[in-house]
Chain A
């Protein structure tokens, strides 16, 4: 980690040079460094640590967000696991995340392959394909909501397709698909850019060697490209899961959790903690959600044998 060589002669005694070799524990530290570090630690503690601990504490109480409360042990947690609404939100969120991760990665990878191949108008096409990344999730969800609710059924009726002639948003069995579509629309660009970064690190010689050995296009994709970008697949899967598990904006814009509670995500149910006097109850939900998020991240890292996501 150190950028200097420890053997370099140091002028330690004189002037207590702060730039002395990193390993020396005897040098005096400039107190200003603590001052530099302080805002981050304070901010993080106030914004994340304190509320997380508060939430943890509250999850064992019957608080409704204000007024008196008392400890009720694990009752919130026990109730949670019998609550169809909450179990449903986990089923929806996990299922939605899984489907979205798969679809987004396949499409983003295909686009990255296309955009790094010898095509025309590369710059224009890349510019266009990245646009969704910079558009607000809720705003684009409103746009799609109009399309799904009005335009698509209109087209469906015109061509006499029964399946398309009613709004997908009102269909409890298929509303989730609309959320997958819009989420994919918005998150493909970021995933694609990471794949492009991966693809450009593959030297051309590798493909040359492959084609000398008689590899077809498909074979070189399967046996050269995919193994060489596997680290990027891991990154994209983990980042994707992390985002989709917290799905909120796009769902609010499209279905607002409906029809009924068919598309209510975990984040949405947590945020309802202030509405029904479920404050402490939803804190328990948040804690479970946190553990599941961590567990999933660790499992993914483990499965992929901890390929460096965080680099050096």
Chain B
């Protein structure tokens, strides 16, 4: 995240003058002990983090129990005996490999599609901003920010049905479409900061628009692409609303939608349910742990732009 768009918001205008800074808001130095560590705040935050950790602990804890132990409703009792069989049963019951394949299929198309399609559009719009057609297209795409999916859901279910897209592919396309506004906005804002000179010199060397896009623009957009890609992954992987409404074949449902079976058919097999929940959560959490940097900065860039 080289450029820092966070500074261009309207808020931080005219700070009062002062000679030296003694209260850096972001703690960047390691242990230089000029200032005291705020111990009460650390303690409070540590206690507060239990609100996040306890539900996750419960999920793991429950998944390690036997069905007999899990039905007693006590989420915190230690599993005895300790068993991994719930995972095997959840795997078979939900047909995990198939659900996983469907989820990955949707997610992969959404990630690649969101990056490429939005970047192409942003490039065209920024380079032709002087032309009305491109300016209006930009505002047309922005309108999507104000149209939530529930508004168009019912006709969309019919349309996808008519077009034979009442399947994972249709969901992936919808994911791309509903993320277009935000992503295009992000990319255009970033592209405006890229000087034209680079592009001109490439064109001097004989590169066409196509080459400029793939060899110059897309690489320059790489940090933005990482952000867009990771958010696309998390949103697509976790989405429940669209797949549950659009995909008509229950055999092609995504992992989050499959979890519903533990409410309807297997409502007393808590241990299996929680093992399954854990397997549903894991991919996004793992991706997050490896890509934290982009998750944390990405959201703020999006919001600030």
A residues contacting B by CB (< 8 A) are: 1-4, 17-19, 22-25, 29-30, 32-34, 36-37, 39-41, 43-44, 46-48, 50-52, 54-55, 58, 65, 111, 114-122, 125-140, 142-144, 146-147, 150-151, 153-154, 185, 190, 193-194, 196-212, 228-232, 235-236, 239, 242, 245-246, 248-249, 252, 266-267, 270-271, 273-274, 279, 282-283, 286-287, 289-290, 293-294, 297, 307-308, 310-312
Question: Residue B177 contacts which of A44, A129, A146, A212 (CB distance < 8 angstroms)?
Answer: A44
Could you tell me if A4 and B196 are in contact, using CB atoms closer than 8 angstroms?
A: yes
- With contacts A114-B45, A310-B185 known, what are 17 further pairs, Cβ within 8 A? A2-B130, A17-B203, A18-B209, A36-B121, A43-B173, A43-B177, A43-B180, A51-B152, A51-B155, A114-B48, A119-B27, A121-B42, A136-B239, A146-B270, A151-B76, A153-B73, A312-B192
Minimum CB–CB distance for A275 against chain B, Å: 11
Could you tell me if A131 and B9 are in contact, using CB atoms closer than 8 angstroms?
A: no
Could you tell me if B245 and A208 are in contact, using CB atoms closer than 8 angstroms?
A: no
Could you tell me if B48 and A127 are in contact, using CB atoms closer than 8 angstroms?
A: no
Could you tell me if B134 and A37 are in contact, using CB atoms closer than 8 angstroms?
A: yes
B residues contacting A by CB (< 8 A) are: 5-12, 15-27, 35-39, 41-42, 44-46, 48-49, 51-53, 55-56, 58-59, 62, 73-76, 117-118, 120-121, 123-125, 127-131, 134, 137, 140-144, 146-159, 173-174, 176-178, 180, 184-185, 189, 192-196, 199-200, 203, 208-210, 213, 234, 237-241, 245, 256-257, 259-260, 262-263, 270, 273-274, 277, 280-281, 284-285, 287-289, 292, 295-296, 299-300, 303-305
Question: Residue A138 contacts which of B12, B49, B173, B240 (CB distance < 8 angstroms)?
Answer: B240
Question: Contacts A185-B55, A194-B300 hold; do A252 and B152 have CB atoms under 8 A apart?
Answer: no
Could you tell me if B37 and A150 are in contact, using CB atoms closer than 8 angstroms?
A: no
Could you tell me if A246 and B150 are in contact, using CB atoms closer than 8 angstroms?
A: yes
Could you tell me if A229 and B11 are in contact, using CB atoms closer than 8 angstroms?
A: yes
Name A138's closest neighbour in chain B (CB-CB). B240
- Complex contacts, A289 vs chain B, CB 8 Å: 148, 150-151
- Complex contacts, A185 vs chain B, CB 8 Å: 51-52, 55
Q: Which of B5, B128, B284, B292 has the most CB of A within 10 A?
A: B128
- Complex contacts, A30 vs chain B, CB 8 Å: 208-209
Q: Is the interface of B mostly helix, strand, loop or mixed?
A: helix
Could you tell me if A205 and B21 are in contact, using CB atoms closer than 8 angstroms?
A: yes
Question: Contacts A43-B117, A294-B146 hold; do A205 and B151 have CB atoms under 8 A apart?
Answer: no
State in angstroms the CA–CA spacing of A125 and B51 once bound together: 12
Could you tell me if B10 and A246 are in contact, using CB atoms closer than 8 angstroms?
A: no
Could you tell me if A154 and B36 are in contact, using CB atoms closer than 8 angstroms?
A: no
Could you tell me if B55 and A232 are in contact, using CB atoms closer than 8 angstroms?
A: no
Could you tell me if B127 and A201 are in contact, using CB atoms closer than 8 angstroms?
A: no
- Complex contacts, A267 vs chain B, CB 8 Å: 148, 150, 241
Q: Is the interface of A mostly helix, strand, loop or mixed?
A: helix
Question: Contacts A111-B45, A142-B273, A198-B11 hold; do A52 and B25 have CB atoms under 8 A apart?
Answer: no
Could you tell me if B131 and A29 are in contact, using CB atoms closer than 8 angstroms?
A: yes
Name A182's closest neighbour in chain B (CB-CB). B55
- Complex contacts, B305 vs chain A, CB 8 Å: 310-311
Question: Residue A51 contacts which of B27, B51, B159, B263 (CB distance < 8 angstroms)?
Answer: B159
Q: Which of B26, B257, B284 has the most CB of A within 10 A?
A: B26
Question: Residue A137 contacts which of B7, B16, B146, B240 (CB distance < 8 angstroms)?
Answer: B240
State in angstroms the CA–CA spacing of A209 and B14 once bound together: 13
16 residue pairs bridging A and B, Cβ less than 8 Å apart = A25-B131, A33-B128, A48-B152, A51-B154, A52-B147, A52-B151, A117-B25, A118-B37, A128-B49, A144-B55, A146-B75, A151-B58, A197-B304, A235-B304, A271-B154, A282-B154
Question: Residue A117 contacts which of B21, B38, B303 (CB distance < 8 angstroms)?
Answer: B38
State in angstroms the CA–CA spacing of A53 and B173 once bound together: 19
Could you tell me if B277 and A22 are in contact, using CB atoms closer than 8 angstroms?
A: no
Minimum CB–CB distance for A234 against chain B, Å: 9
Could you tell me if A39 and B120 are in contact, using CB atoms closer than 8 angstroms?
A: yes
